[in-house]
Structure 1
Amino acid sequence: MTTPVTIEDIYKLFERSQEKLDKSIAEADRRFAESDRRFAESDRRATESRAELERLIAEREKSLAKLERTVERTSKAIDALTTRWGRFVEELVEPAVLRLFQEKGIDVKEVYPRARTKRQGAAMEIDILAIDDTELVLVECKSRLSKDDVDEFIEKLNRFKISFPHYKDYQAYGAVAGIEINEGIDRYAYRQGLFVIKPSGDSVAIANDEDFKPSYW
């Protein structure tokens, strides 16, 4: 025989169901609270990481700016030193130019240090320019002569008569001078048809031998 369900039985069942529901809600609330805590912690860490990253970026930018200023100052100092050495070489070579090339059969009679033109699109400066009525010599002076210097000078020789058109009918020769000359560069310049001027005692001398045949532009 089936036992009849009483109001008390239904009430107890409801209580048990309510307890389970309360526990489920409490567990859900706990999990939500834990999730909120973890999210807040993650957000805090992310904020701290962003702040640290921004600080590091700011420090890097500051260091780069400082490095750029240092490089700029160093470059200016090197350029100034290079210019002074270049001027020294010019002052050493200039007094000897007429004698040196007259001895080689190029009868130049006038010397113009730092000859320059500002012709639009063809500006150029020649360290030393020695001329007579039909011939001239362009001299490039370096404290240390490199292959790049020789190549750049040859380009200058190729453009010379565009920059100085009043010399278009002259026969132009090229010479490179250096206090120091990188290994093999004297021979390289020789093969390009350039005179090579080196220190000799208290003055300078042309190093090319008697077999040398100069190029002209």
Structure 2
Amino acid sequence: MQVDTNERINLIEDALYKLTINVDNLTKNINNFHNEMSEFKEEMSEFKDEMSEFKDEMSEFKKETIKDRRNMNKQWGDLANKFGTLVEDIVLPSAIPLIKRYFNSKATTSMPRLHRKIDGREGEFDLVIADEGKLFLFEVKSSFYREYLNDFIENIKGFKELFPEYKDKQIISIFASLSLNNKAVKELTDKNIYAMAYKEWDYMDLLNFNDIKMSDFKA
């Protein structure tokens, strides 16, 4: 009986010893894991800081890129204006994508510097773009003056007499320039003419599209 008791005690002591060893190992593992997690947390914090710096750098790079593009657009516009190629270099490449986007137009014909003279009556348009149902008449100037607007309106009135082949098309008039201030845009809007110009020297756009109703352009 005494032997059995001693054996049991020995077994219990052995089990307690092993348990102590296991607890020590578990404690060490937990401590190691805690240390590793602390290191990982520090690394993630450093990574977060690096990503924040990278984000700031990318933001600055984006700002510089936009600034450079705007400066380039302005310089390109000045050169085109100087050499008289505003229509070909600036307006025409932007006009077709614009009318497709805003008017869902499938342009079939573009005619820069369209001119015709009939029975003493004469008219010239810087750019005319036609699709199946609409006709887009562009007046292109380096700057805006009221006399330019008045001349454009007179040309619009006489267009279908000079070009009867387009008599069934709806006329949409667009005054295009490198830059248009708010006063010029308002004057154009009052005459139901779209104002096309660089938006903050970033890209060419219709500045008063939402202020004009298509119904105003019934020919």
Counterpart of 2:153?
A: 154
**Residue by residue, what CA displacement relative to the aligned partner does 1:31-80 show, whole Å, maximum 9, x if unpaired?**
xxxxxxxxxxxxxxxxxxxxxxxxxxxxxxxxxxxxxxxxxxxxxxxxxx
Q: CA deviation at 1:175?
A: 0.4
Counterpart of 2:86?
A: 88
For 1:15-30, list aligned pairs within 5 A: none
The structure 1 segments of at least 4 consecutive aligned residues displaced by more than 3 Å after TM superposition are 81-86, 180-183, 200-203
Counterpart of 1:143?
A: 142
State the SS of the aligned residue for 2:173: strand
Counterpart of 1:10?
A: none
State the SS of the aligned residue for 2:85: helix
Q: CA deviation at 1:204?
A: 1.1
State the SS of the aligned residue for 1:143: coil
Query: Aligned match of 2:95 in 91, 94, 97?
Result: 97
Structure 1 residue runs of 5 or longer lacking an equivalent are 1-80
Counterpart of 2:212?
A: 212
For 1:163-202, list aligned pairs within 5 A: 163-181=162-180, 184-200=183-199, 201=201
Conserved? CA contact 1:106–1:135, under 8 Å:
no
How many percent of aligned residue pairs carry the same amino acid?
26
TM-score normalized by the length of structure 1: 0.56
**Residue by residue, what CA displacement relative to the aligned partner does 1:192-211 show, whole Å, maximum 9, x if unpaired?**
11110011345411111424
Conserved? CA contact 1:145–1:177, under 8 Å:
no
State the SS of the aligned residue for 2:147: helix
Q: CA separation of 1:192/1:176 partners in 2, compared to 1, >3 Å: closer, same or farther?
A: same
Higher alpha-carbon Rg: 1
Counterpart of 2:28?
A: none
TM-score normalized by the length of structure 2: 0.56
Q: CA deviation at 1:181?
A: 3.2
Computed over aligned residues only, the root mean square deviation of the Cα atoms, in angstroms, reads 2.4
Distance 1:86 1:202 in 2: 21
Conserved? CA contact 2:80–2:90, under 8 Å:
no
Q: CA separation of 1:208/1:90 partners in 2, compared to 1, >3 Å: closer, same or farther?
A: farther
Q: CA deviation at 1:86?
A: 4.8
For 1:71-82, list aligned pairs within 5 A: none
Q: CA deviation at 1:162?
A: 0.7
1:111 partner amino acid: S
Name the structure with the higher helix share: 2
Distance 2:83 2:212 in 1: 29
